[in-house]
Structure 1
Amino acid sequence: MLQLNVKNESSRLRAVVLGSAVNNGPTPSAAEAYDPKSLEHILAGTYPVEADMVAEMEAFNTVFEKYGVTVFRPQMIENYNQIFARDIGFVIDDIFIKANILPDRERELDAIQYVIDQIDPVKVVRPPEEVHIEGGDVIVHNEYIFIGTYKGSDYKDYITARTNMQGVEYIKNLFPHKIVKEFDLVKSKIEARDNALHLDCCFQPVGNGKGIIYKSGFREEADYMFLVNLFGKDNLFHITRDEMYHMNSNVFSIAADVVVSEKNFTRLNNWLRENGFTVEEIPYAEIAKQEGLLRCSTLPLIRD
């Protein structure tokens, strides 16, 4: 049995689900796009091709092998995008929470059922239908659980609004001993530079007490200030609108001092190194065209 344990974003990783780009299917039509960044690349004819995405994910897998991490991959679904494992489930403490994702993507959960079968069934939960929550919106930070949501009255009109307030309440009830703090995120169906698809698209803790943040990803300045006050402004790396668009906050921690990052994130990677991190740089710019990056591709199961 897998003894799940995830209490934060940066303790030493031992086991993870890494998505797959194999047999990814044809470029979607504009009508099939789930987010404005994918739509932008579909219309421009620059949507990523399978061979490039497979190569990027294998580079990620190689880093996991280097650090002795146990890696599970989803079973292949023909002609289907299975890159973003974070969307379909997440672990808090020792509980695996199945996400209520867009109905079209239910098969992605089936493809990791062999992993879920290795978890104590008592530790696997599925929220009721009205609860919307995706792993990219959930960040565990020791006694805190941070959750990205969208509080606009037009929530139902936004395919980019993935976690609702019922999702926040569900997590509060499931983890009454934790401090659950929700963040109202900026959403856009048409401009990827103004769309925080998930919380990890505009904020993520790294190391011990540091983080990456995009101020304009939060609809309320008070939400941004909460994080500034908690972490300290000097401990936060502030990314620009363009860096947010390229997914600079969506790196992935293998340990408190080891971060996997995209090789083109020059400013961020220099800051990480200056702050004592080992930065494992890999190419991931093609996958980034789908408004997801390294954290989105992973579903951590066990950390120290």
Structure 2
Amino acid sequence: MSQKRHAKAHNEYDTLHEVLMCPPHEMRIKKPINEVQKSYEDENIDQEKAVQEHQFLTEMLQRHGVDVRLISPHPKLPEQVFTRDLGFAAENGMIVGRMKTDIRQPEIEECQKWLDENHIVYESISDGTLEGGDVLIDNDVMYIGDSSRTSEKAIKRLKKLYPEKTIMTIPFDEQYLHLDCIFNILSEGTALLYPDALADDLVRDICMRYRTITVTKEEQFTLGTNVLSIGERKVISLPENKQVNHDMREMGFEVIEVPFSEIIKSGGSFRCVTMPLRKYKS
């Protein structure tokens, strides 16, 4: 019998060792489920280009020592490339969520099947809905987006699962999809933030905890906050988000620019397409 494995992650910025991704072979906009998709519904997605972008990202991660695990794309699941939405890893293992839209719920079943086949222990959330893009962890603090995608019932469940953590609930308008589309933690004490999406008191609270790089409205639309920290102050970001990349470099980060313009048409970028399985200090 194969030994069970436990996923592990303490925060958003430790070294990424193992990640779950899904190639976008079936990616397309069938029925728009967010504002970004509505903008590109007529143009839709060039699948061949999307696959090339995803492959380039995969190879970039591998060059930086990341073990990239791939789940096979299902022909009826056009959003499956966004593996982060399926849940999250914390220091005590993997949490698998529950999707808000019916069209995406079968992705959870495919994820659970993959985790079972690879002997990775997980706990499923059955109370309400929970999508991983709404969860950010910074050691003893867990930020949870209170949005149209993640419900109060699920947040209450996470509070019971993580009594030792300070749970900070962040309400925001559903047009921004997930919390990581307006807020992301780059390192201990540094974060990206699109302040226009949050109430003033929440912005003040975040700015007291972090040195914040403010993201403009234009670069929020091109998912400027949705970067991927892979450890040692290295961050994967879109080349189009020039101001964000400049500001991160000014704060001492190594910015690795990866083309991803086709995949972001569906409303997600680098953090959205990567589900960390092991992320910890080397």
TM-score by length of 1: 0.86
- 1:120 is displaced (CA, Å) by 5.2
1:69 match: 66
2:246 match: 270
1:126 match: 124
1:169 match: 156
1:226 match: 205
Give yes or no for contact 1:208–1:256 (8 Å, CA) kept in 2: no
Q: Which runs of 4+ in 1 moved over 6 A?
A: none
Tell me the amino acid that sits aligned with residue 276 of structure 2: P
Give yes or no for contact 2:194–2:216 (8 Å, CA) kept in 1: yes
2:181 pairs, out of 201, 205, 214, with: 201
1:47 match: 44
Which structure has greater strand proportion?
A: 2
Tell me the amino acid that sits aligned with residue 179 of structure 1: T
Give yes or no for contact 1:261–1:282 (8 Å, CA) kept in 2: yes
Provide closer, same or farther for how the CA distance between residues 118 and 241 of structure 1 changes in structure 2, counting only shifts above 3 A. same
Distance 1:13 1:174 in 2: 24
Q: Deviations over 1:12-48 (max 9, x none)?
A: 0110011220133x541xxx21101101211xx2222
Distance 1:115 1:167 in 2: 21
Give yes or no for contact 2:237–2:258 (8 Å, CA) kept in 1: yes
2:81 match: 83
1:213 match: 193
1:97 pairs, out of 95, 98, 122, with: 95
Give yes or no for contact 2:140–2:165 (8 Å, CA) kept in 1: yes
Give yes or no for contact 2:19–2:277 (8 Å, CA) kept in 1: yes
Give yes or no for contact 1:88–1:100 (8 Å, CA) kept in 2: yes
Provide closer, same or farther for how the CA distance between residues 262 and 301 of structure 1 changes in structure 2, counting only shifts above 3 A. same
1:154 match: none
Gaps of 5+ in 2: none
2:139 match: 142
Distance 1:4 1:225 in 2: 33
Distance 1:41 1:242 in 2: 16
- 1:89 is displaced (CA, Å) by 1.8
2:170 match: 183
2:275 match: 299
Give yes or no for contact 1:76–1:111 (8 Å, CA) kept in 2: no
- 1:260 is displaced (CA, Å) by 0.6
TM-score by length of 2: 0.92
Identity %: 24
